[in-house]
Structure 1
Amino acid sequence: MTRATEAYTFAAIAIASYIVLFLGLVPLPETVQDKIIPVLPWWALITFGCYCLGNIGNAMYTFRDCPEAYHELMGEISQAKSDLRSKGLQLN
């Protein structure tokens, strides 16, 4: 199974489960049926958003700097500038 197929399968199972719970086909206490089940999609959306923000924040925090690549790039820039100056181009 591909990742997309797994994701679609999980989504279909989750949606089917929610519909069964929302329509009351499974006997649940009245408090759960009236107060918790209707807000489950919002809870899932907020939880997913928090996960995404945390994942992005963690990726930014653990992003590795590459000082050798920086120095290599700066060397190439200075080499390009000197080459352009030798051809008569005015640079700032």
Structure 2
Amino acid sequence: MTRATEAATAIGILGTIYLALLFQWLPITLPPTIQEFILPVLPWWVLVTFGAYSLGNIGYHVMTFRDCPEAYDELQVQISQAQNDLRSKGIGL
């Protein structure tokens, strides 16, 4: 199975269990606090948690982005070559 198939399967199973608990389709008795206050807002909590994790992960990887001195040097050489080529064609820089 591909990773997308595994993710879709997991989301489908968890979604089915969530809906079964929310609409009391299973013969499981949950405490009223969980049934009335926690289950209805659980998808929003998951969404906010995923968003916070994603932003933190992106921020961390931007903060620890590794510089590439070789790429910098190569880019400087290419810029110099482009400037010389434009000067030889009569376009002054």
TM-score normalised by structure 2 residue count: 0.91
Aligned AA (1:63): F
Query: What percentage of aligned pairs have identical amino acids?
Result: 60
SS in 1 for 2:70: helix
Note the aligned Cα RMSD (angstroms).
1.0
The number of equivalent residue pairs is: 91
- How many angstroms does 1:9 deviate by? 0.3
| Cα distance in 1 between the residues matched to 2:85 and 2:5 | 53
Q: TM-score, normalised by structure 1?
A: 0.92
Q: C-alpha separation between the residues in 1 aligned to 2:15 and 2:63?
A: 34
Counterpart in the other structure of 2:10: 10
Q: Which moved more, 1:6-15 or 1:59-68?
A: 59-68
Give runs of ≥4 in structure 1 deviating > 3 Å: none
Residue segments in structure 1 that go unaligned for 5+ positions in a row:
none
Unaligned runs of 5+ in 2: none
Within-5 A mapping of 1:47-66: 47-66=49-68
Q: Which moved more, 1:3-12 or 1:56-65?
A: 56-65
Shift of 1:71: 1.5
